[in-house]
């Protein structure tokens, strides 16, 4: 939950990830740009997602309290819709979209994280092989989803410039959703890659350039 003593304070990161299919054949899909800025007791996280092959064009701004990572606000802009959510008096309120329809959101936050926080959480876990943690997260439409993080161990990783470094591998599991793999630099805690398998035999990687 936000403010849990296990969470590690991590320095802000700014990266651009190349998104590509690597199995069964190589295919360039687009890119994801992400930046974090610490402003006093708030962490502001922005992302720009352009995946032409999937028709995805989305810009997000997620603001959380620092270092607790409790949600404060979330803005998600797409070409045809715009979601704006704020935490007011312990409730997530605002406007979201579900299946193209506008939905009014007004739900209690409780001990849940807000939307757009999972990449930061993966970097903030205790890096101990075998560590497991579950967490609740509010979706943009105000529903609660429960996920599990597993720290599976370390492995060697080849960066975009060809150098080798050690990374911790964290797996995010959520019911009815493909597992997400996060590859985080063991020394700097910077995210170097995310990967998932949307269907058997297909692997998509998002790798820091």
Q: What is the mean pLDDT of the chain?
A: 95
d(CA 141, CA 93): 10
pTM over 0.85: yes
pLDDT digits (tens, 9 = 90+) for 144-183: 999 999 999 999 999 999 999 999 999 999 998 999 999 9
Q: Are 36 and 102 in contact (CB under 8 A)?
A: no
Residues 114, 122: contact at Cβ < 8 Å? Answer: no
Q: Which residues touch 17 (CB under 8 Å, ≥6 apart)?
A: 31, 32, 33, 34, 193, 194, 206, 207, 208, 209
């Amino acid at each position: 939950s936000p403010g849990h003593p296990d969470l590690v304070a991590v320095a802000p990161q700014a990266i651009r990830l190349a998104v590509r299919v690597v199995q069964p054949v190589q295919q360039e899909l687009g890119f994801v740009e992400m930046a974090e800025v610490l402003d006093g007791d708030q962490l502001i996280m922005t992302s720009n997602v352009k995946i032409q092959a999937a028709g995805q064009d989305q810009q997000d701004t997620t603001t959380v309290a620092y270092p607790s990572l409790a949600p404060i606000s979330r803005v998600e802009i797409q070409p045809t819709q715009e979601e704006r959510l704020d935490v007011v008096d312990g409730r997530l309120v605002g406007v979201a979209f579900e299946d193209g329809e506008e939905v009014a959101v007004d739900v209690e936050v409780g001990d849940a994280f807000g939307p757009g926080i999972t990449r930061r959480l993966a970097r903030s876990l205790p890096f101990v092989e075998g560590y497991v943690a579950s967490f609740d997260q509010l979706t943009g439409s105000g529903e609660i989803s429960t996920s599990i993080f597993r720290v599976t161990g370390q492995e060697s990783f080849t960066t975009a410039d060809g150098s080798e470094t050690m990374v911790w591998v964290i797996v995010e599991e959520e019911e009815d959703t493909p597992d997400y793999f996060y590859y985080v630099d063991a020394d700097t805690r910077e995210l170097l890659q995310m990967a998932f398998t949307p269907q058997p035999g297909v692997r998509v990687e998002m790798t820091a350039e």
